[in-house]
Amino acid sequence: MAIPDFQSLMLPLLRYCRDEKEHKTGETADALTAEFRLSGEERKALLPSGVQEIIVNRLAWAKSHLKMAGLLESPRRGAFKITPRGLDVLRKETPSINLKFLLQFPEYVQWRSAKRAKSETDDSDSIHPATPQEILENAYEKIREDLAADLLQRMKSCSPSFFERLVVEVIVKMGYGGTRQDAGKAIGQSGDGGIDGIIKEDKLGLDTIYIQAKRWENTVGRPEIQKFVGALTGQRSKKGLFITTSDFSGDAREYVSRIDTKIVLIDGELLAQLMIDHGVGVSTIGVFELKKVDTDYFTEE
């Protein structure tokens, strides 16, 4: 079963609290997961940012709206319970609770702006499956996916020497290779059996990593990886980095997972993501901070 949207969680959440006891988000999420028969994977599914579970996020939004309508209250930090008004709503056996339903309560109307309230009640059956935070994070992920696709296309069309410099820039930004000058001198200088370069693993040069960096269109298969491993063996090295603008076959990835030599495979999609993460070939056009209420600030001793 799909994870319920935050409006669909409102009535089950209120019913769960009908015992008039204090509840916490974690145990409530577990209870509603069982009620909706969600799988273990669905219970643990995360928002695009990877910092919060989807069910917990949607439950928090449902709880927030119910509190603003006076159906739930927070007697202390991290806990919530049903109010007399909430119990009265349950006694009336309302079939569902959504944003429009909550507009019957003056406190809720006051909490929301008139424009926002109107837009959400134009259609009485309107259901908004995603929370505002989900909408924001999904939009960010879409922008990032489009940006990564654009970067990958540009990498495939650049010259081999430019691609080598790009690889150096990414590696240095990630904290490897010492200085950019040292790393740049290493790339393209080996030419020994499938090795395109040698780079320092750390700024002190305590160990080295051998690199193969290719602008390939075809999928990189196991034979190419085996050649690279053979070249590493000739250098008495057990660490290698294979970077390509294309992808790796399943057989190649499976082979790497079984050998003693440590080979890290970076395909075009991952390379583009690393460029975004470390600011290579991209520029910031806007920064949005997502904030929440600091409950400690409002705690009176």
pLDDT tens for each residue of 32-83: 999 999 999 999 998 877 778 999 989 989 998 999 899 999 888 789 999 9
> In angstroms, rounded to a whole number, what is the distance separating the alpha carbons of residues 191 and 189?
6
Beta strand extents in the chain (DSSP E only): 72-73, 81-82, 197-200, 208-214, 239-244, 262-266
pLDDT tens for each residue of 75-112: 887 899 999 999 999 999 999 999 999 999 998 888 87
Among 170-184, 228-242, 253-267, the minimum mean pLDDT is found in 170-184
- The DSSP call for residue 50 is S
- Structural domains in the chain plus CATH codes: 10-126 (no CATH), 142-277 (3.40.1350.10)
Neighbours of 76 (CB within 10 A): 9
Listed ranges 68-72, 143-147, 197-201; the one with the highest mean pLDDT: 68-72
pLDDT of 123 reads: 45
* Burial class of residue 25 (count of CB atoms within 10 Å of its CB; 0-12, 13-18, 19+): middle
Confidence of residue 125 (pLDDT cuts 50, 70, 90): very low
